[in-house]
């Protein structure tokens, strides 16, 4: 990273590079992870610790299973608009991706 390039710019460029890669999601996520760890070495283990804490506490037990029928509910779409599950299902099959928030670059790559 040069003095002229801020950390924010470098992370944004890493995101764009990973997002534009014509590769499976796991490869794009890995690329961004490696680059973000290079740019933020002090935070290298923090993400891994968070994932481990979530797994140890059994949070995955509350995740809907593939094919599980969900009750009707309101959610926000990718643009932040409220939509009803039933209205989307009326148009055909649906894939729902639950993400942490727009601030999460890893979630952004998945979308």
pLDDT digits (tens, 9 = 90+) for 50-69: 888 888 988 878 888 888 88
What's the CA gap between 9 and 20, in Å, rounded? 16
Whether 38 and 22 map to the same domain: the answer is yes
59 and 5 both lie in a single domain: yes
Vertex 13: Cα angle to 7 and 18 (nearest 5): 125
For residues 4 and 39, membership in a common domain is answered with yes
Strand partners of residue 46: none
Query: pLDDT by residue (tens digit) across 75-90?
Result: 888 788 999 999 999 9
Residues 43 and 57 in one domain: yes
Residue 109: inside a domain, yes or no? Answer: no
User: Is pTM, for the whole model, over 0.85?
Assistant: no
Could you give the number of structural domains in the chain? 2
Kindly report the length of the chain.
Answer: 111
Of 111, 109, 104, the C-alpha closest to 17 is 109
Looking at the fold, whether 41 and 76 belong to one and the same domain comes out as no
């Amino acid at each position: 990273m040069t003095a002229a390039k801020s950390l924010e710019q470098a992370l944004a460029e890493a995101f764009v590079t990973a997002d534009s890669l014509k590769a499976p999601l796991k490869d794009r996520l890995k690329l961004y992870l490696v680059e973000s760890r290079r740019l933020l070495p002090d935070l290298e283990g923090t993400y891994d610790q968070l994932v481990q804490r979530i797994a140890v506490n059994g949070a995955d037990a509350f995740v809907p299973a593939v094919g599980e029928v969900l009750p009707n509910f309101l959610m926000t779409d990718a643009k932040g608009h409220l939509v009803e599950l039933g209205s989307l299902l009326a148009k055909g099959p649906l894939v729902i991706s639950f993400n942490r928030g727009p601030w999460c670059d890893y979630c952004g790559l998945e979308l």
